[in-house]
Homo-oligomer: A and B are copies of this chain.
Amino acid sequence: MREVCVLGVGLHKFGRFPEKSVEDMGRVAILNALDDAGIKFRDIEAAYCGRVYAGLMGAGLRVINEVGQTGIPIVNVEQACSSSSVAFRLGYYAVGAGICDMALIVGFEKMERGMLRATSPAHSYEELVGMSTPMAWYALEIRRHMEQYGTTAKQIAMVSVKSHRNGTLNPYAQYQQEMTLEQVLNSRMIADPITLYECSPTTDGASAAIICSREKAKKYTNSPIFIAGWAAGSPIYEKGKDYDELGIRLTEKLAKEAYERAGMGPEDMDVVQIHDAAASGEIQRFEALGFCNKGEGGRWVEEGRTEIGGEIPVNTDGGLLSRGHPVGATGLAQIAEVVWQLRGQAGKRQVAGKLKAGLCHNSGIGGVNITILKT
């Protein structure tokens, strides 16, 4: 595998756009990424599209046709909430293998309110006991964590307060307003202990990235961002252990793999994006990614150590909670944020100092996908 760079990234604002189609939003994200990379659409040799609800049979083709019809192979990936980070990984394989030199990755989604409410598989135990996914899973997971480690409702709420504060600094974020601790704690209970403002919203949006070989990147930039490490996997059956429904143990295992591939450790990460479909999820995955000991995640949040000015800034763009969560577009939005941070282009939410590396953690049903980027 040869080295692969991210040459450009682009987003369409996340939010609610009832008047826009995925084609409209995808076009904007792609054009922004092409512009950022300094290339033309005709330079693109392959495309990988992540989407879930955006329509079967050719949704990627329709979005990409908005920009051009040059005959490139277009692959549609559907991996629930990690669709576009998986698409990114497949594009990385293709460029890394020398199949092509320059690829486009695009994620897009248009969602309705409440769209994720009733997605328990038919006849599953979740459906039988009346659990609605994914919040019931997150609730069970963090409830145990609270019992075992003393994590508090306040600490969980502070994740959301932080994310909404960061969101106000990100013009692409769905929510542009701060939340007080009281507002979060007092919002409607969804799945005890998770409140409404601790849940990520449904969102419309699109995201795109251009990746290329190191050799190719030289023509366009002196400071490309490199794909340094990655890992992906699905839950493992381990005899005598609880089923790892939301992939906490899986995340621990994959983080090690990704750090090893990158030749780095958690101590080398200057900025981190974590899949916070629920605020509580950020705490447990922050631990699983090796940034602190198990059970200490809540305290890190409470002590402000994951704020933009803290030791390890987490979800600087507002995360799923405030930037929003258009499922097919989320993974690439995380990657775009780390690229901007590493380049020093993150505006008001820029992490101070010379950044060298960042990590993205994106979960989909049945899988976790980790990407490490470096300057």
A residues sitting closer than 8 Å to B (CB atoms) are 1, 52-53, 56-58, 60-62, 64, 68-80, 86, 90, 93-94, 96-99, 119, 121, 232-237, 250, 253, 364-367, 369
Please indicate the chain B residues that have their CB under 8 angstroms from the CB of A72 in the complex: 233-234
Which one, B70, B93, B232, B364, contacts A93 given CB within 8 A?
B93
Please indicate the chain B residues that have their CB under 8 angstroms from the CB of A73 in the complex: 232-234, 367, 369
Please indicate the chain B residues that have their CB under 8 angstroms from the CB of A52 in the complex: 56-57
Q: Are A71 and B253 in contact (CB under 8 A)?
A: yes
Q: Are A76 and B79 in contact (CB under 8 A)?
A: yes
A68 nearest in chain B by CB position: B237
Please indicate the chain B residues that have their CB under 8 angstroms from the CB of A61 in the complex: 234, 365-367
Which one, B56, B77, B86, contacts A80 given CB within 8 A?
B56
Q: Are B74 and A75 in contact (CB under 8 A)?
A: no
What are some 5 contacts across the A-B interface (CB < 8 A)? A58-B366, A61-B367, A73-B232, A73-B234, A76-B79
Q: Enumerate the 4 nearest inter-chain pairs by beta-carbon distance, A residue then B residue, closest first.
A: A97-B97, A61-B366, A69-B237, A71-B236
Q: Are A97 and B233 in contact (CB under 8 A)?
A: no
A254 nearest in chain B by CB position: B71
Q: Are B53 and A56 in contact (CB under 8 A)?
A: yes
A253 nearest in chain B by CB position: B71
Q: Are A69 and B367 in contact (CB under 8 A)?
A: no
**Nearest CB of B to A84, in Å:** 13
Q: Are A71 and B119 in contact (CB under 8 A)?
A: no
A235 nearest in chain B by CB position: B69
A56 with B78, Cβ < 8 A, contacts A1-B98, A61-B366 known = yes
Please indicate the chain B residues that have their CB under 8 angstroms from the CB of A77 in the complex: 75-78
**Nearest CB of B to A339, in Å:** 23
Q: Are B236 and A74 in contact (CB under 8 A)?
A: no
Please indicate the chain B residues that have their CB under 8 angstroms from the CB of A70 in the complex: 236-237
A99 nearest in chain B by CB position: B93
Please indicate the chain B residues that have their CB under 8 angstroms from the CB of A58 in the complex: 80, 121, 364-366
**Nearest CB of B to A142, in Å:** 22
A234 nearest in chain B by CB position: B74
Q: Are A57 and B119 in contact (CB under 8 A)?
A: yes
A62 with B93, Cβ < 8 A, contacts A71-B234, A71-B235, A73-B234 known = no
**Nearest CB of B to A116, in Å:** 9
Please indicate the chain B residues that have their CB under 8 angstroms from the CB of A93 in the complex: 90, 93-94, 97, 99
**Nearest CB of B to A139, in Å:** 19
- Docked CA distance A73–B53 (Å): 22
Q: Are A57 and B69 in contact (CB under 8 A)?
A: no
A75 with B79, Cβ < 8 A, contacts A1-B97, A94-B93 known = yes
Q: Are B367 and A74 in contact (CB under 8 A)?
A: yes
Q: Are B121 and A71 in contact (CB under 8 A)?
A: no
**Nearest CB of B to A279, in Å:** 22
A46 nearest in chain B by CB position: B232
**Nearest CB of B to A90, in Å:** 6
- Docked CA distance A99–B96 (Å): 10
- Docked CA distance A204–B57 (Å): 18
A366 with B236, Cβ < 8 A, contacts A56-B52, A93-B99, A96-B97 known = no
- Docked CA distance A74–B71 (Å): 27
Please indicate the chain B residues that have their CB under 8 angstroms from the CB of A94 in the complex: 93
A100 nearest in chain B by CB position: B93
- Docked CA distance A368–B85 (Å): 25
- Docked CA distance A72–B369 (Å): 11
- Docked CA distance A86–B48 (Å): 12
